[in-house]
């Protein structure tokens, strides 16, 4: 009987060890999955940040272009005004 008891105890211990090993494996797998998810989230965040930066740069470029266009228009208007003044002066001198 003692031998049978010992065998049963050994079997129980082996089963416990196996269960513990399985639990550890499951935990490791879960940890790995969590790490992968975190990495994916980080990558997504980085991509979003890059997209935002690109959008900001594009907006800045557009603003600069608009400003340049406005400046050019102002210059043209000034030139036209000067020409008109010159013509008026000529007209007044003729009279």
pTM confidence score = 0.47
Instruction: Establish how many alpha carbons lie within 13 A of residue 75's alpha carbon, considering only the half-sphere containing its beta carbon.
Output: 6
State which H helix or E strand residue 6 sits in: helix 2-94
- 51, pLDDT greater than 90: yes
C-alpha pair distances (Å), 95 with each of 3, 34, 65, 82, 87? 137, 91, 45, 20, 13
Work out the mean pLDDT of the chain and round it to a whole number: 92
Rounded Cα–Cα distance for residues 68 and 78 (Å): 15
pLDDT of residue 72: 97
pLDDT digits (tens, 9 = 90+) for 30-49: 999 999 999 999 999 999 99
Rounded Cα–Cα distance for residues 41 and 70 (Å): 43
């Amino acid at each position: 009987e003692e031998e049978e008891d010992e065998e049963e105890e050994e079997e129980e211990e082996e089963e416990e060890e196996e269960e513990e090993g399985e639990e550890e494996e499951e935990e490791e797998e879960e940890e790995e999955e969590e790490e992968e998810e975190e990495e994916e989230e980080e990558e997504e965040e980085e991509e979003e940040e890059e997209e935002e930066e690109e959008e900001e740069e594009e907006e800045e470029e557009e603003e600069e272009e608009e400003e340049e266009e406005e400046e050019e228009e102002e210059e043209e208007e000034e030139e036209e005004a000067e020409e008109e003044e010159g013509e008026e002066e000529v007209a007044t001198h003729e009279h």
